Structure 1
Amino acid sequence: MKILIIGPSWVGDMVMSQSLYRTLKANNPDATIDVMAPDWCRPILSRMPEVNNVVAMPVGHGSLQLSVRRQLGKTLKQSGYDQAIVLPGSLKSALVPWFADIAKRSGWLGEMRYGLLNDYRKLDKVAFPLMVERYIALAFDKAEMTSAKALPQPLLYPALQVDNESTIAACQALGLNQDRPTLAICPGAEFGPAKRWPHYHYAQAVAQLIDTGWQVWIFGSGKDHPVGEEILAHLSDTQRTHCINLAGQTKLEQAVDLMASCKAAITNDSGLMHVAAAVGLPLVALYGPSSPDFTPPLTHQAKVIRLIDGYLKVRKGDGEQGYHQSLIDITPQMTLDALDELLAGQSCAS
């Protein structure tokens, strides 16, 4: 069976989509899975052994470009796909499989996609509360999937595959060494400062960890680099020698490979949080207005800290510098205690 997946456009969602690919392969080991995605997704998808090929999506996120989608669909008609599974909920994301005349086109109904999808599911958010459950459900006949309770357990969480040679190469390219245990921190987040734990809290936690023998690598995109510099500015000269701001300095594949070599992570609710979970890091995940009830870190080695309930759609909090008060209220000591608890549990398990 040959399956085309129309993949999501965000780092975290793309990582979580691996649960679907793993489930499809578990159900049918001979299945061939191709994923249509933007080029930036290739580094993530290349570390998913279930994915056979990445089909480039030349249309940017949010852009219709109907003629481009039509031409791409016509090109894919010759590829012999038996099924397409559409993960985004937009109408435009379902167009290419329809233009390609793929016999079975599956997905959640979304934006009025009758006809574009011929194997559509009507979403009950209470029955399928987690995004990963909604993804995995598409690997099964819709008659079987009345709620997440029908999914086979345990769920197959994302598991990015990183080889040691790639990690060594990334360290050499960036002049890094691991003469101390390494903590990954991911202080950035999309959509403004309201989802970010304050940089001064990160700095205080980092300073304490460095003083006890850790080194720290700061991960993120180019726009997260200033946050990393703010953290560094709060450290002493000696502490700064053990804290490296890699935000914006790595390719995405290098960030994945380097993160896989770390011992643990402290992270905001972000795409890199999902990467950290998928490479097997024990992690402390810090939530404010966004909720772990929909997209939690998919790992059994996580401590989630959140001091409020519900979901708040805010991009700038009422606290200082746009931080949300619920994140300001998470103290560095709370985070360090959670990290200690995680690592102590890992030691006992080993």
Structure 2
Amino acid sequence: MQKNFPQYRILIFSSDVQEIEHMSELIHDRISSPKITIAANFKSVCKIISAFNFDVILVCINHTDSGIEILDFIEKNISRAGVIVISDIMAISEIVDSKNADNSANVFDYLPKSELSSLLLFKSVIYISEKNKFHIKLKNLERKYSNLFEMNPVPMWIYDLEFLKFWRVNDAAVRKYGYTKDEFKEMTLKDIRPKEDLVKLEKAVGMVRKHKKLFTNGIYRHKKKDGTIMYVEVVSNIIYIDKVKYGLVLANDITETLDYIQAIEDQNSKLQEIAFNHSHIIRAPLTNMMGILNLVKEMDLNTPESAELLEHLFTSCNQLDEKIAEVVKKSASYPLSKN
């Protein structure tokens, strides 16, 4: 009979020696050079599982209580092996279905012992191995994106679109807004918005509810736990978790940026005022000085009239100095926030 070539690492757990031999024969009948390890009792299973890695764990269950115990142990201590449960106990079959439905860390398959054959076991080994590989890749991908969410330096959260409750928040949101994660779970999006902005919030969320896919961004006002109002640039997207629609939000605090922009605009206004008025402020004493100098050129400097003109010239020079100092003061740097 043609055999499958990949070498599988298989652990067989059974307290029945004849059952172990039968399982080994069925495996060798279809699978080429399998690496089989035997565990005859719960203690040895615990020791072996802790020390070695397996592609497939074959568990033969003849009693409900001991079967539940071993399945629970495998689920808690193994995350990278597929589990094939062989039994004729209906309660065990229901437990396997329940673990698969609960998105367990392991992939489980159930085979009725009374219907077992080498072909059925072979198909299950192939199925459980390939499904487990995909399961591991999926879990690694979920872990990767979970890390991107949790470790993002910008506040992020996932919220329920029906009631607007926070479903999950990252550490950056905790630091920025001042609430603990447990506090966030008891809150809705309305709790971080000023009352006068709630209509704007309902309008934005209403738009998200109408679409299956939607990417939006905008600037909004948010409120911290201490009551501080900040401006945030919000980027929002729709995601689906277990086929349930949620909103994913990234909220970047841009309050300081807006303060700097306002400071620059105020400074520009001052500079425009100076540019408009400087000729009127400075030109008056300068005009006086130029007129006096023209008269002085044509006069005898030893006459009383010349002395009076020189006195006017001195006064105009002082006026010009004062106006220049006033312009310098008005054009001084606008004080920006250092917080």
- TM-score, normalised with respect to structure 2: 0.28
TM-score by length of 1: 0.27
| Structure with more contact order per residue of length (Cα contacts < 8 Å, sep ≥ 6) | 1
Report the structure, 1 or 2, having the larger strand content: 2
Q: Which has the larger radius of gyration?
A: 2
Judging by fraction of residues, say which structure has more helix: 2
